[in-house]
Each structure stands twice: as C-alpha cells, then as structure tokens.
C-alpha cells in the first residue's frame, strides 16, 4: 500500500521571512501537514488501501471509487495532504513577482492584466467564510484559467480542475502573525509566490 510521507519543504522555515513567519511555517508543516498525512494513511488503511494504489490526486478526481464509508475522510485528509504539498511548492524566498510567459498572457485575457488578477484573487480569498482555500486552476474542459474557492480541505481535483496555485486561508496559516487581518496575510503571500513553478505547471498543461 502507498504510504504517504510529509513532503520536505524546498526552503528553510525562516526563509520566507518577513512575509511568512518562521513559527507559523514550522507549526503548519510539522503539525498540521503531518496530521493530514497521518490521517490520509489511516483513512486509506481503513478502506483497504491496497485496492487504491494510484496517487492521491487521481483518487480525489474520482472519489466515487472510494467506499462511501471512507469518502469523507479521504476527501479531508487526502485534500489536506495534497493541498499543502502544492502550497509549499508554490512559494519561494526568491520570487520574481510576476508570472510572465503564457500564464501572464492568459491572465491578460481573462482578468485584463496581472495586477487585476491579483486584485480579484485577493478579494475572493478574503471572502471565504470559515476555513478554505483560494485557487488558480486550469479548467481543461474549457481550456481556461479560473479562480475558485473550496471549503475546508476540499481539493480542486474533486471538481476535475487542475490546481496551479493555492492559498491556504485557514486561520492556522496566518493567525500567529496577522491575527484577524486576513488581507495583510494575502498581501504578504504575494511576495513569496513561485511564479516559475506555477508558470511551468501551466505550460505543461497547455503546450
């Protein structure tokens, strides 16, 4: 059976300072993400994980294939595992600040320009009621980028949408530093987005 492990961060806990603080990064990764990882392994085991050997993003894309008794847990813990993995990978201490390339061209088409894309995304992110995520996804049915929101740990894969960039808008992601000021968190986060990584994800889908 596939055993999931806590993915390593591509940078050190303090390297996203001053935008994302060290203590938040450490707790978020070693406690929260670890708990989703453990929960995913336990959930898979409880439904006989050996019969679901494919990677978690494939499982989330087809949750109906999971016995109903285990579906909620797989959705939550599998989503939590996969969402956070992407969250870490799409941040960097060396952000160059703009997507460039084909991704920025797509933003120009659907959002006017990059600055307006950021504005719309930020407004959506701060509008989330309770806990959830704000996403830039690729919708392969209509061959376009979209901004979507999901609740709790629901993954865009469960909507058959390919996540390109995701922002964790659970309080555990920002409360130690920003308390209730969610917009401050969102605006800090823009400074550490790894646009090379996000742009490559987009290019791989659209080449």
Residue ranges that bind Mn ion, judged by CB under 5 A = 168, 170, 173
Q: Residue 154 or residue 168: which is nearer to Mn ion going by CB?
A: 168
Q: Residue 163 or residue 199: which is nearer to Mn ion going by CB?
A: 163
Q: C-beta of 191: minimal distance to Mn ion in Å? A: 19
The helix (run of H) or strand (run of E) holding residue 146 is strand 144-151
Q: How far is CA 68 from the centre of its chain?
A: 25
Mention every residue, 6+ apart, whose C-beta is less than 8 A from residue 200. Answer: none
Nearest residue to Mn ion, scored by beta-carbon proximity: 168
Helices (H) and strands (E) in the chain, counts: 10, 3
Helix (H, G, I), strand (E, B) or coil at 133: strand
Count CB-CB contacts under 10 A for residue 125.
22
Q: Residue 117 or residue 135: which is nearer to Mn ion going by CB?
A: 135
Q: Residue 106 or residue 173: which is nearer to Mn ion going by CB?
A: 173
Residues 201, 204, 206, 207: is their CA dihedral positive or negative?
A: positive
Check if the beta carbon of residue 193 is closer than 8 Å to that of residue 95: yes
Q: Residue 49 or residue 166: which is nearer to Mn ion going by CB?
A: 166
């Amino acid at each position: 059976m596939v055993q999931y492990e806590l993915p390593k961060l591509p940078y050190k806990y303090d390297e996203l300072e001053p935008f994302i603080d060290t203590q938040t990064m450490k707790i978020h990764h070693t406690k929260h993400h670890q708990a989703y990882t453990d929960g995913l392994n336990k959930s898979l085991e409880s439904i006989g994980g050996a019969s679901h050997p494919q990677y978690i993003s494939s499982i989330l894309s087809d949750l109906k294939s999971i016995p109903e008794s285990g579906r909620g847990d797989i959705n939550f813990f599998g989503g939590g595992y996969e969402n956070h993995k992407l969250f870490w990978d799409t941040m960097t201490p060396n952000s160059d600040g703009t997507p460039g390339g084909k991704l920025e061209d797509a933003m120009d088409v659907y959002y006017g320009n990059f600055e307006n894309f950021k504005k719309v995304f930020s407004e959506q992110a701060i509008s989330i009621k309770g806990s959830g995520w704000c996403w830039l996804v690729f919708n392969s049915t209509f061959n376009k980028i979209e901004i979507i929101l999901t609740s709790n740990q629901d993954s865009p894969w469960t909507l058959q949408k390919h996540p390109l960039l995701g922002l964790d808008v659970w309080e555990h992601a920002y409360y130690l530093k920003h308390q209730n000021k969610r917009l401050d968190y969102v605006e800090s986060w823009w400074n550490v987005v790894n646009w090379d990584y996000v742009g490559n994800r987009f290019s791989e889908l659209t080449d």
